[in-house]
Amino acid sequence: MIPPPIIENIPTVKLMAHEDPMSGWNLEIITTNFEFAPQGASKDHVSGQGHAHLYLDGHKITRLYSNWFHIPELDPGEHTLMVTLNSNNHRDYTVNEEKVMGMTKVTSVAR
């Protein structure tokens, strides 16, 4: 197994969900020591660069190449949203074998 990338400045990520006045949610991904680098996707690891993976209720739904993303209306109820930071070659950034990730919960109501 290939070890996770070694990095000098540990990246962090925080995920915030803002309810969109028209529909769905606007997700804000706040990072430190990390640069979104869509031009490097699926290429070699560069420390502190990469993209994020977005999960909804434990299921990966997309890659993210910037710090804002809109998701449409969700089924009524509570949902867990999570982002992980990933290197250009898609490996998870980790600290002490824990994924660098941000998580938030949203509650969707029928409109």
Q: Name all domains of the chain by residue range, CATH numbers in brackets.
A: 12-108 (2.60.40.10)
Q: Nearest Cα to 72, choosing from 83, 64, 82, 61?
A: 61
pLDDT in tens, 93-106: 999 899 999 999 99
In percent, how much of the chain has pLDDT > 90?
A: 78
At CA 63, angle to CA 74 and CA 12, rounded to 5? 100
pTM, whole model, 2 decimals? 0.87
Residues in the chain: 111
- 3 touches 9 (CB < 8 A): no
Cβ neighbours for 61, distance < 8 A, ≥ 6 positions apart: 54, 55, 71
Q: What is the mean pLDDT of the chain?
A: 91
